[in-house]
Amino acid sequence: MPFVCSLPPLRQTILSGLLLLFAAGIFVPCAPAADKLTIYSGRSERLIKPVLDAFTANTGIQIELLSSGTTELVNRLKAEGDRTSADLLITNDAGSLELARTAGLLRPLNMREIERAIPSQFRAPDNAWVGLSGRFWIVAYNSTMVKADQVKSLLDLADPKWKDKIAIPNSGSEYLQAGVSVILTTYGEEKTKQFLQGLKTNADTQVYQKSSQIVEAVAKGQVALGIVNHYYVYRHLAAQPEAPIAVLMPDQQEGGMGAIMNVAGVGIVKSTKHLDSAKLLVEFLVAKAGQKLFADLDKEYPLHPDVKADPALVERKSFRAALVPLTKLAELREPTLALIEQVGLR
Amino acid sequence: MSTIRQQLASPLQLLALATAGIILLPLGYVTARALSADRAVWSRLWATRIPELLFNTVSLAASVAVITLVLGVSTAWLVTRVEFPGRRLWEGALVLPLAMPTYVLAYVYSYLLGFAGPVEHLWQLVAGPQARIFSPHSYGGATLVMALDTFPFVYLLSRSALLSMNVSFEEVARASGVSRLSTLWRVTLPLMRPSIAAGVALVILYVVSDFGAVSLLRYQTLTYAVFQQMTGRSDNTAASILSLLLVGLALIFLITERWFRQRSRFYQTTGRYRTPQRHRYGWLGTLAVTGYLGLIVGAAFALPASLLIQWSLSPEAQATLDSRFFGFVWNSGVLATSAATGGVLIGLPLAYLASRRPTMLNLSCLQAAYAGYVLPGPVAALAVLVLFTRLAPIFYGSVLILIVAYVIHFLPAGLQSLEPALQHISPNLEEVARTLGLGMRDTWRRVTLPLVRNGFVVAWVLIFLQTMKELPATLLLRPVGFDTLAIRVWMEASEEYFQLAAPSALLIVLLSLPALALLVSKDWRAA
């Protein structure tokens, strides 16, 4: 670099400093410390950081968090392969975890702590991923605009009478994809397609990137109904108890498919160099205390049978869940996406 | 023959070629990927998304173009052809919106105009409790935000056209008995046409490639759709196809802008320069002009800025000002510094060769570097991602890949000021130095470098500023623990935590201001 050397001393110092910074910027984050875990998290930072902070406080293990979209992170893990700096993957959707498992990104676990704490329907057969909390895809309604008995099923939202009155998540959201997968298995392609078309027409421009925005829109009366995961409603109610918003558990009618369930879960990345610390974190999350913390923070249903859900939630035993196994969500992803694209959901 | 061999042997030449290659390769990959996609994917996209996306993108660009045209030309005319108290102040204030990234303005407006927001409350006092105003999350909202944010491009170009125009044309028209309004319409505006067109084309280019505002306002454009495809799907075929369309669209506007810019040279007249005579307004005129300019600057800068300050002072926002926040500031600084330094170091050989040895090869290398203009953020990210996973997967997930994306994306902005800086020095000066006995190195140090220093500084600042504001590529490529200020603004604002987003947003605006001042005085084109 001839002109660097030809600069006056002061400027030379500055420029070399910048070059050093340039190099530092590239190489520093690639060297993870021994007692540090890197987590790729598909759930928003707000919903996960307090639990991880509690873990750090307990064990002294530092955590580096990358929050982003779930699919994006799975894509990233695939691309990074063995070179990834990630030790664990936390996502909002069992389908994505199962896809990561079938792609060979996650490490099977043989841990008695997991088997004792989490019922087998909420984890992969080889424990490569483990569910941590349950969430239901529900209808949030504005109680000043709609009566609870006006909607029985998710499929009712495609009815033309709700034109411009509903808000839905965008088609990139994994829980929408998982929800559509369940509907597709239950009702078949034709009916699902009709449902999606109705949903698209009724929502029109009310398609949101974030569930919290949908809940906000319902609470303010901008729309009457919205499809979200149940906990967003309870989180909103916890902050604003007077808000005219409530949860409607759909598809509970005689012969109905039951509410669509999904889990948030964790898997240890296959190439991790911090297996012991990563296992510690999983242990922490499935243990009673961790389960309580993880579930309550976000108003979700704990999966550990001995841990009680937040009393504000609808009693878990009072409603039915749809009967599609979580592991099936992965194989359903492709046909679901094809359908979503055919309909042209945003 | 020997000259060719000489050129090929030159290490600088090789460097320039390699740079051009690195910049063009990603574009090539995206194109290849899109063209090799299954026909079924193409036809499905044509049947579902593409018509809507194209229509949305083009109609947004069209309406923003019309509004910026009116705002930009009228404000430029007022500050150059009318004398009123505070004129010089307004002349500067009209540039301020450029310091507001689109996503900041978008989030402020989604609060202001949002459902049950302050503007709606005011309107309900007038029109009754059930009255609704238009939603900012719409075509109208996106148009408003983009127009307020980009009209300074047209303003700046029109202003310099009005200032450098030979006033005798107008005087002749007036002396021949043509009315003031008619003179404006028949003489002034036609003379300004090339500048206005270049400004509008620049605005359109900006709108087409914007991600921040449209994502927060949920307005579906091609750029936003590429991002959604990349984050929501496991294969990026559809994203590549949409990217290719977007690149095509951007290319059309880039070529238009260039063409008008070339033409604008023919209009520069060589007559003796005189300051145009400014028409003096009475108090009523002054009031009207001040009100008009105040409304524009208020809506585009003063109001959003004061809201950001107010939010930043709220206890919720104050609570976020911890060591993590300073980590984000540091990340932004490191990334922007690296990208700016890298950009200048890479741009220099390209610009130097093109101005000192303007062979076909060197000029093409330089033109290739301008490809970044037609690679909107998400597309640049996609391209770099595809390139690195194929060729050098080892760097995937490191800062390097992000910096490469920045450099590709923002190199054109830097070259805009590097290129003229080098072109303006006559090679004679260097040759004279050499004949007087200075060595190669001393010539560089004592002649060339001091002469091009300003161009360097401007290029560096430009890339620094752009990188600091950059959103989509950062979102898609950032390594673990590398959240930037822009990312924080976007993440908090997209969940409508307006207060929490404010400190980062305010800091970006504040850091942009001095840079903006520097650029306006030198080279404002790519600000």
How many CB pairs below 8 Å do chains A and B form together? 143
At residue B191, what is the residue type? L
ipTM of the complex: 0.76
Q: Which domains does chain A have, with CATH numbers?
A: 29-134+262-316 (3.40.190.10), 135-260+331-343 (3.40.190.10)
> Helix (H, G, I), strand (E, B), or coil: what is residue A268?
strand
Of B49, B228, B399, the CB nearest to A26: B399
Distance CA A266, CA A247 (A): 27
* CB-CB contact of A25 with B335 (8 Å): yes
Helix, strand, coil share of chain B (percent; to 5): 80, 0, 20
Indicate the range of A136-140, A311-315, B506-510 predicted with least confidence: A311-315
* CB-CB contact of B403 with B342 (8 Å): yes
pLDDT class of A243 with cuts at 50, 70, 90: very high
In this prediction, residue B273 carries a pLDDT of: 57
CATH T-level topology, domain B49-273+285-312: MetI-like fold (1.10.3720)
> Which residues lie closer than 8 Å to B273 by C-beta, 6 or more apart?
B164, B166
- Which pairing describes strands A88-91 and A260-268: parallel, antiparallel, or unpaired? antiparallel
Chain A, residues 143-202, CB within 8 A of chain B, namely 170-173
In B, which residues are within 8 Å of A83 by CB distance? 393-394, 396-397
In this prediction, residue B4 carries a pLDDT of: 46
In this prediction, residue B157 carries a pLDDT of: 86
B404 touches chain A (CB under 8 A): no
Q: In terms of pLDDT, which residue wins out, B499 or A26?
A: B499
* pLDDT tens, residue by residue, A252-292: 988 889 999 999 999 999 999 999 999 999 999 999 999 99
Among B57, B456, B502, B377, smallest CA distance to B245 is for B57
Percent of chain A exceeding pLDDT 70 equals: 90
Residue A28 CA: distances (Å) to CA of A65, B52, B231, B399, B480: 16, 44, 27, 9, 11
- Which pairing describes strands A225-229 and A129-142: parallel, antiparallel, or unpaired? antiparallel
In this prediction, residue A14 carries a pLDDT of: 63
**Are A19 and B341 an interchain contact pair (Cβ–Cβ within 8 Å)?**
yes
The label of the residue with tokens 């007249």 reads B269
Distance CA B380, CA B402 (A): 10
In B, which residues are within 8 Å of A24 by CB distance? 334
Chain B, residues 358-397, CB within 8 A of chain A, namely 385, 389, 393-394, 396-397
Among B470, B463, B475, smallest CA distance to B382 is for B475
In this prediction, residue B274 carries a pLDDT of: 63
Nearest CA in chain B to A37: B480
Chain A, residues 92-151, CB within 8 A of chain B, namely 99
Tokens of A180: 């559509």
Tokens of B486: 């822009």
Phi and psi at B113, nearest 5°, equal -95, 0
Residue B272 CA: distances (Å) to CA of A335, B157, B167, B264, B404: 72, 21, 10, 19, 47
Whether the predicted pLDDT of A6 surpasses 60 = no
Strand partners, A41: A67, A90
**Are A3 and B449 an interchain contact pair (Cβ–Cβ within 8 Å)?**
yes
* pLDDT tens, residue by residue, B425-457: 777 888 888 888 888 788 878 887 787 787 888
Give pTM, 2 decimals: 0.83
Chain B, residues 264-293, CB within 8 A of chain A, namely none
Mutation pick from A4, A6, A14 vs chain B, by most beta carbons of B within 10 Å, is A6
Distance CA B2, CA B433 (A): 26
In B, which residues are within 8 Å of A3 by CB distance? 444-445, 449
Do B11-38+314-527 and B49-273+285-312 have matching folds?
A: yes
In this prediction, residue B353 carries a pLDDT of: 84
**Are B441 and A205 an interchain contact pair (Cβ–Cβ within 8 Å)?**
no
Chain B, residues 114-133, CB within 8 A of chain A, namely 115-116
Of B218, B335, B491, the CB nearest to A207: B218
**Are B232 and A71 an interchain contact pair (Cβ–Cβ within 8 Å)?**
yes
pLDDT by residue, tens only, chain B of 527 residues: 444 445 445 777 888 888 888 888 878 888 888 898 888 888 888 887 899 899 999 999 999 999 999 999 999 999 988 888 888 899 889 999 989 999 999 999 988 988 778 888 888 888 887 777 888 888 999 999 999 999 998 998 888 888 877 777 888 888 888 888 888 888 888 888 888 888 888 899 889 989 999 988 888 899 998 888 888 777 788 888 999 999 888 888 878 777 776 665 544 445 545 666 788 888 898 999 999 999 999 999 999 999 999 999 999 888 888 888 999 999 999 999 999 999 998 888 888 888 878 888 888 888 888 887 778 888 888 888 878 877 777 777 788 889 989 998 888 888 877 877 777 777 788 888 888 888 878 887 888 778 778 788 888 888 898 899 999 999 888 888 888 999 999 988 887 788 899 999 999 999 888 888 877 775 444 33
* CB-CB contact of A87 with A39 (8 Å): yes
* pLDDT tens, residue by residue, B492-515: 888 778 889 999 999 999 988 888
**Domain ranges in chain B?**
11-38+314-527, 49-273+285-312
Strand partners, A226: A140, A167
Give the architecture-level CATH label for domain B11-38+314-527. Orthogonal Bundle (1.10)
A331 touches chain B (CB under 8 A): no
In this prediction, residue A127 carries a pLDDT of: 93
